[in-house]
Amino acid sequence: MPASLSAVKHKIASTKSTRQITSAMQMVSTSKLNQIQKHTKTYQVYAAKVNGVISHLAQAHIFNLVSAGGNSSVSPLAVQRPVKKTGILVITSDRGLVGSYNSNIIKSTLDFMREHDLNKDNTVFLTVGNTGTEFFTKRGMNIAYQYSGVNDVPKFVDVREIVKTVTEMYGNEVFDELYLSYSHFVNRISSRVQTYKMLPISEESLESTVDDTESDSEEHQVGPEYEFEPSETDILSAVLPQYAESLVYGAILDAKTSEHASSSNAMRSASDNADDLIASLELQYNRARQAAITTEITEITGGQAALE
């Protein structure tokens, strides 16, 4: 077999092996996506209830009362102070092979920094995922906290450490406001990066996190006057930590769902490209083989003619 035919045949075999790997990875990612979607549906019921309670409290305007009074002993998560340092909690993946998933999050975060005049001197990063940690570390950003190894289908106990650390850092004034940046899962072929304020919790920040349709529903059409039992401060001290936990855990669930979808799409595209490449190589191989056969026939015919 000529060297050119042997090389093309080797490329075909190698590409077929790659296609088998990418097809298997697509199946794994799709399986993980199905699992986490089932888990997310059950969690959304709890998150909706917590958001409902918080939206009621917001309509009672007790957030303004707490923040205005600076009552940090009641609920430090709702106390507003002059912004000297801005924290950004960025959720990326621990590995590659997820298409444009990580690059979209990082690009959106950098755009957000430019729009708000943020730089390495007035910004503190909290990163979930090795990709974000490595990117911002190489660029000299201040990484105050990093976490990696989030499970493919994360449970709440897996992120409790993250929530505890975030709230403690805010209470210790490591940063004065915190934004959450991650990829929101829209459907299996689409996602979009979301960036919104998480801390301090206020009526303004609630507008970007509580679903408009939920707050406009008949169930949530309530008046601004309430009688609280126990007191407003007791309710806030109990509910706000749960709300912060639901925001972080919900974002990680959402981000992981988007990651699995992006990985599945990337592996499907890789498999499709491998199929196209195999077809092109097989056509090239057949043409080269036919040319070699034609050359051999011509040589034999020429030899016979010379003998005659």
pLDDT score of 109: 94
Does 300 map to a domain?
Answer: no
The conformation of residue 219, written as its DSSP 8-state character, comes to G
Does 195 map to a domain?
Answer: yes
- Contact status, residue 278 vs residue 19, Cβ threshold 8 Å: yes
Residue 74 binned pLDDT confidence (cut-offs 50, 70, 90) = low
pLDDT score of 64: 57
- Contact status, residue 262 vs residue 189, Cβ threshold 8 Å: no
- Contact status, residue 181 vs residue 112, Cβ threshold 8 Å: yes
Does 154 map to a domain?
Answer: yes
| CA dist., res. 87 & res. 143, Å (int) | 10
Task: Inform me whether the pLDDT recorded for 72 exceeds 60.
Answer: no
CB-based contacts of 135-139 (< 8 A; 24+ apart in sequence):
135/92, 135/102, 135/106, 136/90
Average pLDDT over residues 129-156: 91
Residue 226 binned pLDDT confidence (cut-offs 50, 70, 90) = low
pLDDT score of 210: 55
Does 298 map to a domain?
Answer: no
* Identity of the residue numbered 86: T
pLDDT score of 229: 67
Residue 133 CA to chain centroid, in angstroms?
A: 14
* Identity of the residue numbered 199: L
| CA dist., res. 259 & res. 33, Å (int) | 9
Cα pseudo-dihedral 175, 256, 248, 214, rounded to 10? 130
pLDDT score of 205: 64
CATH of the domain at 168: 3.40.1380.10
pTM of this structure: 0.81
Does 68 map to a domain?
Answer: yes
- CA-derived radius of gyration, the chain: 28
- Contact status, residue 137 vs residue 107, Cβ threshold 8 Å: no
Task: Inform me whether the pLDDT recorded for 243 exceeds 50.
Answer: yes
pLDDT score of 245: 82
Average pLDDT over residues 100-111: 94
Does 126 map to a domain?
Answer: yes
Does 13 map to a domain?
Answer: no
Does 242 map to a domain?
Answer: yes
Find the domain containing 130 and state its range.
Answer: 27-265
Quick one: CA dihedral 258, 264, 270, 276, positive or negative? Answer: negative
| CA dist., res. 125 & res. 198, Å (int) | 14
| CA dist., res. 136 & res. 126, Å (int) | 10
| Domains held by the chain: number | 1
Average pLDDT over residues 10-18: 90
Task: Inform me whether the pLDDT recorded for 231 exceeds 60.
Answer: yes
